[in-house]
Structure 1
């Protein structure tokens, strides 16, 4: 999937600077950026420019825990596409899938998502360029955002299970960070945050598919501009990973997200020797095998993540796909 090399700055940054009691023109001047940047139609920065902007804002804010100040300013009312996409999700598991896709569309970043054997969810934001130059406070903010997101969406005091950073903060900052995350910070090769399985699947009270569709068109347009070498089947599979947990993985929804008619989508899949139902089943089977082999999630939890209405429907489908029961397959995969 291609990635843009620029970051878009939305109007929310001006409100944030007001909250931080910082003058935008001073931040832009310190960063060596045009002072009328926020009044331009296209407000975008390259990766080096974005890093300079962030560091200038941190300097002007003069706050030792600047990263947390920024994250704590995030609210459910913030009209920011990544935040809306996440808040409208069914749970943190689906939210990070949407965020991972969105990050790749708007910036040279990826979000690595890993589900551990116990069902723990680990997230690691990665910059595709200038990895060594990422400001430490920005690395903190990237992972601290997920705690804020989970708390906003569930209205529960959710904390992280584990947190790792390439560069550990000073003792004074470290104490504040540990209080925020709810766990000591460890050194690791990349910034990462881990949530317990129960928190990853905790229902979001902000679930709102209707609101998602209000601001989704721009994301859908960007999605339709993916690398021309990607097959239609590849694009459908990518969408299924996002849609299955919310039980919205229908051909009508997928066609709408790809900005084509249902008939056109069917024809393109047929040209590639594929069909929609087969792709849904193969994607579900692939995910089911992953969850059975690598997590301790129950059959009911796996059924939910795959978009089944009840566990029995999942059990019957898995038996049809593989000729094995889910329990037998889990035992065999773990022996191997």
Structure 2
């Protein structure tokens, strides 16, 4: 388990090349773009990053991420810091950047014990494709993941069967699934237990209730929440930057900005099925060793879908991700 205790954020020895400067080790708890909050013990030091990071990491939108352990040089004149180095990461959760920087890597958080994907039963509508993309990204980076199905107080009796299908779909694959309602105080004790003494990241689209859940289990956080648009049925962005918060029960949680799409990257198309635990057992049973599990005859995965051994929604997610990875691969050449 990743530990983030004040004892770990100790002062490092002075640089032997310049004994007049103070160097400290800490953890990045907040990133706003050009400035980073670095916690050193009980102190938070606003810091900037060396320009060389942006020059050497040209395919990354953010060279420094929340959760990074860093060494900073303290400016005694104004008590700000300069990030000199980023320590090796144990893992990271990243996605393909959108907009004008599409294709670059956007690191959401580093050095976490578990990722929790939040989806609402409605307002906005549950998006299994989003869930599957994040699960692939966490599998690539060896981050355990779980699913939070929120706003269950909005369910009608007619909708319960569909939600139960989703619950079982992921629970049967070994992912922990928690059903919650921040407004009705449902499932919060289980969620708090899961977060205790862990470094967790909470991610999901805007409007799913991530911030409301955090406020419910840790009222002192006072994370800003927003409403879902009645016209688009999509949430408004309230969390504008990632931030690592301490929990009174022990551990830390990273709240991330809401995202509407999660682009998977750094996977070769032929390796994708290995990151689907329900597809993986059939990979080596196909007629052709280079089967993409899309159109080829004798595909064991397609046969498993036909006999309901693989949920059709999961296979559809696989095909969509495969298509995006193949498109990205073609653009490289």
| TM-score computed with the length of structure 1 as normaliser | 0.32
| Higher RCO, Cα 8 Å, sep 6+ | 1
Judging by fraction of residues, say which structure has more helix: 1
Which structure features the higher share of strand residues? 2
